[in-house]
Amino acid sequence: MIGLSTAAEVRAAEDVLLAAGREGALMQRAATGLAVVCLRLLGRAHGARVTLLVGAGNNGGDALFAGAQLAARGARVTAVLFDADRAHPAGLAALRRAGGRVTGPEGPDGLDRADLVLDGIVGIGGRGGLRTEAARLAERAATGPGLTVAVDVPSGVDADTGAVEGAAFAAVHTVTFGAVKPGLVVGEGRGYAGTVHLVDIGLAPHLAPARAHQLTDADVAAHLEPPGPTDDKYSRGVVGVVAGSAVYPGAAVLCTGAALRTRPGLVRYAGTAADGVRAAWPEAIVTDGRPGDAGRVQAWVAGPGMGTDDDARSVLAEVLATDLPVVVDADALTMAAREPDLVRGRTAPTVLTPHDREFERFGVPVGGDRISSARRLAADLGAVVLLKGDATVVAAPDGTAFVNATGTSDLATAGSGDVLSGVLGSLLAAGTPAAETAAAAAHLHGRAGQIAAARGPILASDLVRVLPDTVGRVRGGGDALLGHSGA
Ligand SMILES: NC(=O)C1=CN([C@@H]2O[C@H](COP(=O)(O)OP(=O)(O)OC[C@H]3O[C@@H](n4cnc5c(N)ncnc54)[C@H](O)[C@@H]3O)[C@@H](O)[C@H]2O)[C@@H](O)CC1
Ligand SMILES: [K+]
């Protein structure tokens, strides 16, 4: 699991080391780690053209010291100082000693010919969008030839939330120090940060336990254990699906198929799409009756394509009245938003899976801080909230959160959500803790999207088809296999 630490948590850990007089050492570790990544990205230092965008704080100091190391190896480094009087004095001296050039925002910045541009405008001390001069040069960097690399955080991105208010530096790579900040992997910030590289500067022993995490393939593999010699189809957890309708069986077919393909134990289906489900998945146990007629299950998935009329409402209420984990998706979310008490009173885990518009039906729009929004709704309802997005966020009522790392825009296809709820239901039936299980489902769904998309544009049924392959690859240590950039 990768811990995501806020700016305040990173500063608190740094304070311990600063109190011990380690300030210079911290910045040297940061700058050296940064220079190493830049060298790797450049392939060579000698003759490479590097522009540093340097703000008034320590983030600029990191850029100057890293620039000095590159200059010492023969790179042609130009530092653009936004506030010449406040630029990090020791960093500036080091750059000058190594032969780097220094200019102002109106000077010869080299951006038109740069091989690499380092954004040291602001780091975790930044507030709000970039100011005019910085915004102008960030825009030129984004459209120029140089590979854009952000120091610690892309300037203009809120390190804690990923919110971008105004202009920000669009990085292809971000080299971050001490811990991955949430804003690099969630919301708009994810798009500005690009590939995240984590440099260890020795903060780990002093960091508070993270309240937000990213799962890796290895974490998710633990949810995908193959059956043991003593397992039978019941002992592995049976999932029940209430979804679809006689007129629209598609959602039920996708959801049931995804559940079957994720953990081939038992899947039971109850509802009016019974004929369609039976035809598509002879392996499922199907009834056209009520959930109570389906037989024993260990978790329910309710919602995709089930409608929102009185019948659907009574089916949802029946499922939510059980003491089993329930996934509340799609039409069931619409009904739960109308009657949140259906969810609030439950003692067994409930996982709600809204996208932004569904989330808003519960009263408040998502806004720029997706993790906090998910946490707020989770605490209000006493349920796990899986807020879908490019980086899906999962929050538990106690504030524990997960940000998914495997999302891809290819997943934005009709029926993709039905597949996710089937995957999630089948993992929940195994009885593992709901929030991490929801995060594991989002991870697996994203991996399936990546694998399916490698062959071209995808349909939701392609996701179902590649699930067994995806499970196998994630179990087999897929990170390397699938080109996980990681931190
Ligand atoms: N504290 C430490 O010991 C370490 C800090 N490190 C670096 O230091 C950074 C934090 O340094 P600071 O606390 O000095 O803060 P920053 O360098 O992140 O930013 C502070 C400066 O930026 C200005 N500023 C704020 N918002 C702005 C905006 N929207 N547009 C333009 N300017 C803006 C402020 O007026 C202030 O001068 C980290 O992100 C990291 O890069 C690393 O060197 C590791 C060690
Ligand atoms: K920065």
Separation in Å, CA 276 to CA 246, 285, 286, 464: 8, 13, 10, 16
Residue 312: Cβ-neighbour burial (10 angstroms; 0-12, 13-18, 19+) = buried
Task: Report the pocket of ligand 1 as residue ranges, CB < 6 Å.
Answer: 14, 18, 23, 26-27, 30, 55-60, 62, 121-128, 130-131, 134, 151-152, 177, 201
Q: Is 127 annotated as a binding residue?
A: yes
Give pLDDT, residue 487: 36
Q: Is 115 annotated as a binding residue?
A: no
Ligand 2 center to 243 CA (angstroms): 47
Statement: 217-481 belongs to CATH 1.20.1260.10: no
Query: What's the CATH fold of domain 2-210?
Result: Rossmann fold (3.40.50)
Give pLDDT, residue 227: 80
DSSP at 83: S
* Atom number in ligand 1 closest to CA 131: 30
Separation in Å, CA 110 to CA 87, 126, 172, 175: 19, 25, 19, 22
Pocket test for ligand 1, best of 122, 176, 180 (most atoms within 8 A of CB): 122
* Atom number in ligand 1 closest to CA 129: 29
Alpha-carbon distance 485 to 487, whole Å? Answer: 7
Strands in 371-440 per DSSP E: 384-387, 393-395, 401-403
Ligand 2 center to 193 CA (angstroms): 10
Q: Phi and psi for 379 in degrees, rounded to 5?
A: -70, -40
* Atom number in ligand 1 closest to CA 151: 41
Tokens encoding 353: 């899976």
Q: Whose CA is nearest to atom 9 of ligand 1?
A: 59
Q: Whose CA is nearest to atom 5 of ligand 1?
A: 58
The ligand with the least distance to the CA atom of 129 is 1
Q: Whose CA is nearest to atom 26 of ligand 1?
A: 126
Residue stretches of the chain with pLDDT short of 50: 480-487
* Residue-wise pLDDT tens digits, 99-136: 999 999 999 999 999 999 999 999 999 988 899 999 99
Give pLDDT, residue 43: 97
Identity of the amino acid at 299? A
| 2-210 against 217-481: fold identical | no
Give pLDDT, residue 479: 53
Tokens encoding 176: 């971050």
Separation in Å, CA 199 to CA 45, 90, 244: 20, 21, 48
Q: Whose CA is nearest to atom 39 of ligand 1?
A: 123
Domain boundaries, the chain: 2-210, 217-481
∠35-38-39 over CA atoms, to 5°?
A: 85
Give pLDDT, residue 388: 98
Q: Whose CA is nearest to atom 27 of ligand 1?
A: 126
